[in-house]
Amino acid sequence: MFVVVGVSGGIAAYKTVHLVRLLILAGHEVHVIPTQDSLRFVGTSTWESISRNAVTTSVHDDVARVRHVALGQAADLVIVAPATANTLARMAAGLADNLLGTTLLATAAPVVVAPAMHTEMWSHPATQQNMATLRGRGVHVVGPADGPLTGGDSGPGRMSEPEEIFEAALATVSGDADLAGLRVVVSTGGTREPIDPVRFLGNRSSGRQGVEVALAAARRGARVRLVAAHVGDGVLAEASRHPRVEVVRAGAAVELRDAVVDAAVDADVVVMVAAVADYRVLEASDEKLSKRGQEGLTLELVQNPDILAGLMQDRRPGQTIVGFAAETADTVDELVAKGRAKRRRKGVDLLAVNEVGWVKGFESADNALLILDDHDDVVAQAQGSKRDVADAVWDAVLAVRGPAQ
Restricted to residues 246-285, the positions that interact with ligand C5P (CB under 6 A) are 253, 272, 274, 276
**What residue is closest to ligand C5P based on CB?**
307
The DSSP line for 177-230 is: -TTTT-EEEEEESB--EEEETTEEE------HHHHHHHHHHHHTT-EEEEEE-B
| Residue 323 CB partners (closer than 8 Å, separation 6+) | 272, 308, 342, 343, 346, 348, 350, 351, 352
324 binds ligand C5P (CB under 6 A): yes
State the nearest-atom distance from the C-beta of 341 to ligand C5P, in Å: 10
Under the criterion CB under 6 A, does residue 216 sit at the interface with ligand C5P?
A: no
Q: Which of 114/252 has CB closer to ligand C5P? A: 252
Using DSSP, state whether 351 is helix, strand or coil: strand
195 lines the binding site for ligand C5P (CB under 6 A): no
Q: Does 325 bind ligand C5P (CB under 6 A)?
A: yes
Among 307, 329, 335, 396, interactor with ligand C5P by CB under 6 A? 307
* Residues 110-169, interacting with ligand C5P (CB under 6 A): none
Other Cβ atoms closer than 10 A to 126: 12
Residue type, 178: D
- The number of residues in the chain equals 405
For position 222 contacting ligand C5P by CB under 6 A, the verdict is no
> Is 53 a residue of the active site?
no
Whether the bond between 82 and the residue before it is cis, its omega within 30 degrees of 0, is yes
Q: Which is nearer to ligand C5P, 155 or 347 (CB)?
A: 347
Among 90-98, 147-155, 170-178, 318-326, which window interacts with ligand C5P (CB under 6 A)? Answer: 318-326
Separation CA 394–CA 352 (nearest Å): 11
Active-site hit among 86, 98, 130, 203:
203
Task: Kindly state whether residue 308 participates in binding ligand C5P, applying the rule CB under 6 A.
Answer: yes
Phi, psi of 284 (to 5 degrees): -65, 140
Residue 54 φ then ψ, to 5°: -65, 150
| Minimal distance, residue 312 CB to ligand C5P, in Å | 10
Residues acting as catalytic residues? 203
- Which residues are at the interface with ligand C5P (CB under 6 A)? 253, 272, 274, 276, 304, 306-308, 323-325
